[in-house]
Amino acid sequence: MSKSNIEEINRNIYDIKNKDEYDFKIKKGLTPEIIKEISKQKNDPEWMKEFRLKALDVYNKLELPTWGPDLSELNMDDIATYVKPKTGLSNSWEDVPEDIKDTFDKLGIPEAEKTSLAGVGAQYDSEVVYHSMKEELIKQGVIYTDMETAVREYPDLVKEHFMKCVPVNDHKFVALHGAVWSGGSFVYVPKGVKVDIPLQSYFRLNSPESGQFEHTLIIVDEGASLHFIEGCSAPKYNKVNLHAGCVELYVKDNAYLRYSTIENWSKNMLNLNTKKAIVGKNAKMDWVSGSFGSKISMLYPMSILNGENSKTEFTGISFAGKGQNLDNGFKVVHNAPNTSSLVNAKSISKNGGTCTYRSLVRVNENAKNSKCSVSCESLMLDDISKSDTIPTSDIRTDEIEFSHEAKIGKISDKTIFYLMSRGISEEDAKAMIVRGFAYPISKELPVEYAVEMNNLINLELEGAIG
Amino acid sequence: MITVNETPVRTARNFNINNVKLDELEIQEEIMPFNNFKINNNSVLSSENVSNSNLIYGLGDKLENQVKVNSNKKVKIVINKNYAEPIELEFELDENNSNLVENIEIIAEENKKADVIIKYKSNNIDNLYHNGIIRVFAKKDSCIDISVVNLLNENANNFISIENELEENAKINYCIVDFGGKNSITNYYSNLKGNCSENKINCIYLGKENQLFDLNYIGELHGEKTNINIEVQGALKDSAKKKFKGTIDFKRGSKKSKGNENEFCMLLSDTAKSLALPMLLCDEEDVEGNHSSAAGKVDNKQLFYIMSRGFDYKEAMKLIVKARFNKILESIKDAKLKNEIIYEIDNRLD
Amino acid sequence: MSENLLEIKDLYVNAEEKEILKGINLKINKGEIHVIMGPNGSGKSTTANAILNNPEYKKEKGKIIFGDEDITNLKTDEIARKGIFMSFQLPEEIPGVSVTNFLKYAKNKSTGKPVKIFEFREELKKYMEELNMNSKNMERSLNVGFSGGEKKKNEILQLLVLNPKLAILDETDSGLDVDAIKTVSKGIEMFKNDENGVLIITHNTKILSSLKADYVHVLVDGRIVKTGTQELAKEIEENGYSQYK
């Protein structure tokens, strides 16, 4: 990549703050009254209202995690859990209010929709403001819509799957999500349908002192395949924002799902997201994840390999800078014979940032003949940052091959000298090595996103190196 | 019930690895005397008091206090010359000496060298109990080899806390053989304080029936150019269970230090369980840290090859396990001890 | 610019606080091939690294003049952009950066002009053929998983692409079989012309069987103890270095 390309990046695009205008913003805090009000605002069916209230009960009973980053600055009394934007849902960008459309324009969403996506959903604060999909997919029976529409129009499918993969009592922030969830995407790919071009949902949180709690539910039916991309960002405010989304993925027998995320929340965000996939017989679930933003992130996507011969791969990178504590990782449970998992996790820490790789590999008694291979690599860019690797393995059968490898270190002086001897400046040499380090992840992303990721890396490296 | 052996950093509770909970264990307040102790070289014994300072990690307050307040054996060793022959300490538990709560302190003076073997043995009776602390202080340029050998029976309760401090250029090499105990719980902590200090840990464990091993090894690198190497090899049969936690912690300032950790668990039955948490914690840029952890069963091709040479299944298995342990066994300099360990492997895998 | 390409004046260099070079003097003119020979540990690689100002090597005294410019304390990348290239004894592996992208970027840096991708790829292909390199290597990560021979050839490929004024080849011939040495020599011949210079650093004479040197310098214990012609190399091949110690 040439230098001019680096200079072209406008670091402000993620930071555009629109006026905090909304149709409705719920009172801060969490009480049954507030939950009932959200439910009313959202025109929930009765079962959903009951579900929310039960989830609130569970939330109140559960403790904060006793491990990981310190979450004490989070005070739910200071967070508005529901902010309804001043617009309804449209399927034409023309109908989206100018300033909101402008934000998504600058993030490149409508442009990507034209060139490389089969469908787009765009959420602004608590509600999806735009959803659209190519005609031919509609004809093939693919459903791609916002979660509220799904609750109304596909109640059976939703009831069967909603918070069954991620149960409400999983942890405190899942319970919170269950109580206040709003927005998100619903995808159903019918049996045998292969969606060749990705669908993308983009989540934007504009409102200060608020939370985003979108729910993404994807069902890839038998023999079907899908690539789904999730993007997220927010402008930076002084007080914390909270993101506690939930992603439930059902990859049925012989199906394939790739779920890619480029997360670039602002650095006042607490990203306490939960993602889980249940993978059927001969099916495959691939995760690709780039984590750049957030003040604190606790994110451990999970694959449950329930079907024989099912497979999963996780490819992820975290990049923590000043004031960031990114506690990310992956969890996999091998629950059937001949299953396999492959993990390739990387992290970069600089300027006082902390990266932690935290993971679980569990191979159950019945998962005979399974394989699991994990590789972690952490790069320290200075001596004020921190990088921890905390991987747990729990092997309960002998017919397995399990291996885990991790490395930690800095960019070697020898490598920098080698590149400089070819006329490349120290700064560029380091950037080149870091991009190379991240390449196994960026190469898994569609070109536009790989470029975006490289831009983010360059952005993050500016000022950190030299 | 008591909860012991907390890891230096917690992870999710439902990963079941932050600590170990022992349901049936009660800490005895009254400890009967222990008289079955042998040492081959009395000249190293010091009459000074054994250190009673707080452990940095240890197995938890209850077990630590028991040693501090109620120990029935105190041994202080000062190494103030170079010893060619190993110094051997042997504790043998039996009907009349069924509880051992000992406090051992070893001080290696500057530039001195020694080889220390600490062995715990028992006969086959039930309800044996061992809880000990071994503190090692290696002064500048000293070099000390320590073997801690647990050959207790498979029904004993075995608790060991090891704590080391290393000054500049000091070297401590450990060989830990962990075979006995219904519960065998070890906490190991090394503080590589001095520049260029080195700590090598070789561990083998062997589990059968319902044995539980909980190994919590922690190496903190403070000095520059320090080096730690942890190598753990184990085999589990029947319903034995092992939790291995190995932490290499690069503290700020430990520039140009290196840490390596390898763990391999051989699973000899489909009801054996292996949990592992190899941690790398890093606060310093200019370091190199690596860890690897693996688990799997005996290679069928190897097994077939050996059996085709006329060995039966059990013999072949023993051969493979010993081959796996070989690198660590080779590091034991004392031939008598090495043979004793090999004999125990054969015996326990029968 | 004068005929003078590189001049090293009374150079003292320390590595890891040990004195390695103890007063080196060397002059290379345009169109010349120089060889520095010497036993292991005599300071050969230190000389190459000092010219490129590797921060691991500290210059205690002396000057390095390139053309008419003092480059003693310039940064490595600045020296490289002035036109000095060093082929590494152990080239670094850089995961995730392809040979093509790397060379394109380096070329862009050294010429200061944008590189035309199509023409560049063709040029690269042509050189790779000449050097018996698998053109698939173009898309592989730089040096990652390359054999020893492939790495050395890759260094020569970079030399041809970047086309510097002075090429320093640090043990480029070591560890190579006869065929590979021929290919490397061919690469050096392709590079060589009346306007540039070559400094070959080696501990054996293999490469001199297919390449003609103008000057041979013998480096022992941080000093050049003798300078001669190709004949000197032959003599060393027969008698070794012991007479210079």
| Interface predicted TM-score (ipTM) | 0.91
In a domain, C44, yes or no: yes
In a domain, C228, yes or no: yes
If one compares A310 and B316, the residue with the highest pLDDT of the two is: A310
Say which DSSP state C173 is in.
Answer: T
Residues 93-122 of A with CB under 8 A from B: none
Crossing angle for the helix pair A426-442 and A447-461, nearest 10 degrees?
140
For residue A465, pLDDT beyond 80? no
* Closest CA relative to residue B171, chosen from B115, B128, B121: B115
* A396 part of contact set with chain B, CB < 8 Å: yes
Q: How many CB atoms lie within 10 A of CB B322?
A: 16
The 3-state secondary structure of chain A, one letter per residue: CCHHHHHHCCCCHHHCCCCCCCCEECCCCCCHHHHHHHHHHCCCCHHHHHHHHHHHHHHHHCCCCCCCCCCCCCCHHHCECCEECCCCCECCHHHCCHHHHHHHHHCCHHHHHHHHCCEEEEEECCEEEEEEECHHHHHCCCEEEEHHHHHHHCHHHHHHHCCCCCCCCCCHHHHHHHHHCCCCEEEEECCCCECCCCEEEEEECCCCCEEECCEEEEEECCCCEEEEEEEEECCCCCCCEEECCEEEEEECCCCEEEEEEEEECCCCEEECCEEEEEECCCCEEEEEEEECCCCEEEECCEEEECCCCCEEEEEEEEEECCCCEEEEEEEEEECCCCCEEEEEEEEEECCCCEEEEEEEEEECCCCCCEEEEEEEEEEECCCCCEEEEEEEEEECCCCEEEEEEEEEEECCHHHHHHHHCCCCCHHHHHHHHHHHHHHHHHCCCCHHHHHHHHHHHHHHHCCCCC
Question: Residue C76 and residue A420: Cβ atoms within 8 Å?
Answer: yes
Q: Give the separation between CA B246 and CA B174, rounded to whole angstroms.
A: 15
Phi, psi of A236 (to 5 degrees): -90, 130
**What pLDDT does residue C114 have?**
87
Average pLDDT of the segment spanning A181-195: 96
Q: Which of A392, A412, A432 is the last residue of a domain?
A: A412
Query: Do A285 and A418 reside in the same domain of the chain?
Result: no
**What pLDDT does residue C110 have?**
82
In a domain, A11, yes or no: no
Q: Which of A369, A386, A412 is the last residue of a domain?
A: A412
CATH code at position C82: 3.40.50.300
Q: How far is C85 from chain A (nearest CA, A)?
A: 7
* A70 part of contact set with chain B, CB < 8 Å: no
Task: Report chain C residues whose CB lies below 8 A from the CB of A420.
Answer: 75-77, 80
Question: Residue A432 and residue C94: Cβ atoms within 8 Å?
Answer: yes
Query: Do A281 and A405 reside in the same domain of the chain?
Result: yes
**B78 in Cβ contact with B46 (< 8 Å):** yes
> What is the gyration radius of the CA atoms in chain A, in angstroms?
21
Q: How many CB atoms lie within 10 A of CB B65?
A: 13
pLDDT in tens, A223-275: 999 999 999 888 888 888 999 999 999 999 999 999 999 898 988 999 999 99
Q: How many CB atoms lie within 10 A of CB A226?
A: 27
In a domain, A7, yes or no: no
In a domain, A1, yes or no: no
Partner residue opposite B269 with nearest CB, options A360, A398, A401:
A398
**What pLDDT does residue A8 have?**
35
Those residues whose C-beta lies under 8 Å from the C-beta of residue A148, and which sit 6 or more positions away, are A42, A43, A127, A128, A182, A183
Place of tokens 């360990």: B341
In a domain, C149, yes or no: no
pTM: 0.90
Query: Do A401 and A442 reside in the same domain of the chain?
Result: no
Q: How far is B218 from chain A (nearest CA, A)?
A: 13
In a domain, A9, yes or no: no
Partner residue opposite C96 with nearest CB, options A412, A413, A440:
A440
SS3 content of chain B, % helix, strand, coil (to 5): 15, 45, 35
Q: How far is A411 from chain B (nearest CA, A)?
A: 9
Domain count, chain C: 1
Question: Residue B296 and residue A391: Cβ atoms within 8 Å?
Answer: no
Place of tokens 């001199």: C208
In a domain, A5, yes or no: no
Phi, psi of A177 (to 5 degrees): -55, -45
Question: Residue A399 and residue B286: Cβ atoms within 8 Å?
Answer: no
* Closest CA relative to residue A80, chosen from A15, A124, A30, A131: A30
Question: Residue B295 and residue A391: Cβ atoms within 8 Å?
Answer: no
Amino acid type, A305? L
Per cent of chain C over pLDDT 90 is 64
Query: Do A178 and A315 reside in the same domain of the chain?
Result: yes
Query: Do A351 and A316 reside in the same domain of the chain?
Result: yes
**What pLDDT does residue A12 have?**
60
Q: How far from the centroid of its chain's Cα atoms is residue A283's Cα?
A: 21
Residues 360-379 of A with CB under 8 A from B: 360, 365, 368, 378
Q: Give the separation between CA A53 and CA A339, rounded to whole angstroms.
A: 38
Query: Do A365 and A424 reside in the same domain of the chain?
Result: no
pLDDT in tens, A117-133: 989 999 999 999 999 99
Interface mutation vs chain A, best among B256, B265, B284, B299, most A CBs within 10 Å? B284
Q: Give the separation between CA B66 and CA A234, rounded to whole angstroms.
A: 55
Cα angle B101-B103-B104, degrees, rounded to a multiple of 5? 135
Chains that touch A (3 or more CB pairs under 8 A): B, C
Q: Is A145 exposed, middle or buried (0-12, 13-18, 19+ CB in 10 A)?
A: buried
If one compares C203 and A46, the residue with the highest pLDDT of the two is: A46
Work out whether strand A302-305 and strand A325-334 pair parallel, antiparallel, or are unpaired: parallel
For residue C1, pLDDT beyond 50? no
Say which DSSP state C170 is in.
Answer: E
**A215 in Cβ contact with A184 (< 8 Å):** yes
Query: Residues of B164-196 as b/e, b for ≥16 C-beta within 10 angstroms?
Result: bbbbbbbbbbbbbbbbbbbbbbbbbbbbbbbbb
Q: Give the separation between CA C190 and CA C52, rounded to whole angstroms.
A: 23
Query: Do A239 and A332 reside in the same domain of the chain?
Result: yes
In a domain, C8, yes or no: yes
The token pair that represents B2 in the structure block: 């008591």
Amino acid type, C133? M
Q: How far is A398 from chain B (nearest CA, A)?
A: 5
**B333 in Cβ contact with B115 (< 8 Å):** yes
Question: Residue A423 and residue C92: Cβ atoms within 8 Å?
Answer: no
Chains that touch B (3 or more CB pairs under 8 A): A
Say which DSSP state B50 is in.
Answer: P
Domain that holds residue A261: 16-412
Q: DSSP secondary structure string, C23-43?
A: EEEEEEETT-EEEEE--TTSS
Task: Report chain B residues whose CB lies below 8 A from the CB of A383.
Answer: 252, 255, 283-286
Q: How far is A364 from chain B (nearest CA, A)?
A: 10
B292 to chain A: nearest residue by CA?
A405
In a domain, C126, yes or no: no
Partner residue opposite B9 with nearest CB, options A388, A405, A410:
A388
**A365 in Cβ contact with A395 (< 8 Å):** no
Interface mutation vs chain C, best among A346, A421, A443, most C CBs within 10 Å? A421
Q: Give the separation between CA B138 and CA B143, rounded to whole angstroms.
A: 7
Handedness of CA A89, A90, A96, A100 (dihedral sign): positive
**What pLDDT does residue A19 have?**
86
Query: Do A211 and A332 reside in the same domain of the chain?
Result: yes
Domain that holds residue C35: 4-92+163-244
Interface mutation vs chain C, best among A418, A441, A454, most C CBs within 10 Å? A418
Partner residue opposite C106 with nearest CB, options A412, A424, A435:
A424
Phi, psi of B302 (to 5 degrees): -60, -45
Question: Residue A423 and residue C96: Cβ atoms within 8 Å?
Answer: no
* Closest CA relative to residue B202, chosen from B262, B120, B118: B262
Q: Give the separation between CA A36 and CA B224, rounded to whole angstroms.
A: 60
Phi, psi of B137 (to 5 degrees): -120, 110
pLDDT in tens, A430-439: 999 999 999 9
Say which DSSP state B308 is in.
Answer: T
Query: Do A403 and A421 reside in the same domain of the chain?
Result: no
Q: DSSP secondary structure string, B70-86?
A: H-SEEEEEEE-S--SSP
A416 to chain C: nearest residue by CA?
C92
Q: Give the separation between CA B36 and CA B90, rounded to whole angstroms.
A: 8
Q: How many Å is the maximal CA-CA distance in chain C?
A: 55
B260 to chain A: nearest residue by CA?
A407
Q: How far is A159 from chain B (nearest CA, A)?
A: 28
Interface mutation vs chain A, best among C46, C49, C77, C93, most A CBs within 10 Å? C77
Q: Give the separation between CA A395 and CA A401, rounded to whole angstroms.
A: 10
Residues 219-238 of A with CB under 8 A from C: none
Q: Is A29 exposed, middle or buried (0-12, 13-18, 19+ CB in 10 A)?
A: middle
Question: Residue A423 and residue C91: Cβ atoms within 8 Å?
Answer: no
**A139-148, B152-161, C115-124: which range is least confident on average?**
C115-124
The residue count of chain A comes to 466
In a domain, A79, yes or no: yes
pLDDT in tens, chain B (350 residues): 899 999 999 999 999 999 999 988 888 888 999 999 999 999 999 999 999 999 999 999 999 999 999 999 999 999 999 999 999 999 999 999 999 999 999 999 999 999 999 999 999 999 999 999 999 999 999 999 999 999 999 999 999 999 999 999 999 999 999 999 999 999 999 999 999 999 999 999 999 999 999 999 999 999 999 999 999 999 999 999 999 999 999 999 999 999 999 999 999 999 999 999 999 999 999 999 999 999 999 888 888 888 888 888 889 999 999 999 998 998 898 999 999 999 999 999 98
Q: How far is C137 from chain A (nearest CA, A)?
A: 16
Partner residue opposite B296 with nearest CB, options A378, A388, A402:
A402
Task: Report chain A residues whose CB lies below 8 A from the CB of B292.
Answer: 403-406
Question: Residue A358 and residue B11: Cβ atoms within 8 Å?
Answer: yes
Task: Report chain A residues whose CB lies below 8 A from the CB of C75.
Answer: 420, 425-426
* C45 part of contact set with chain A, CB < 8 Å: no
Strand partners, B220: B191, B249
Q: Is A271 exposed, middle or buried (0-12, 13-18, 19+ CB in 10 A)?
A: buried
Query: Do A440 and A293 reside in the same domain of the chain?
Result: no
Q: Give the separation between CA B3 and CA B10, rounded to whole angstroms.
A: 14
In a domain, A351, yes or no: yes
Query: Do A390 and A460 reside in the same domain of the chain?
Result: no
Q: Give the separation between CA B236 and CA B221, rounded to whole angstroms.
A: 31
In a domain, C104, yes or no: no
In a domain, C143, yes or no: no
* B166 part of contact set with chain A, CB < 8 Å: no
Question: Residue B275 and residue A392: Cβ atoms within 8 Å?
Answer: yes
Query: Do A116 and A126 reside in the same domain of the chain?
Result: yes
Size of interface A-B (CB pairs under 8 A): 138
* B275 part of contact set with chain A, CB < 8 Å: yes
Domain count, chain A: 2
Task: Report chain B residues whose CB lies below 8 A from the CB of A398.
Answer: 267-270, 272, 296-297
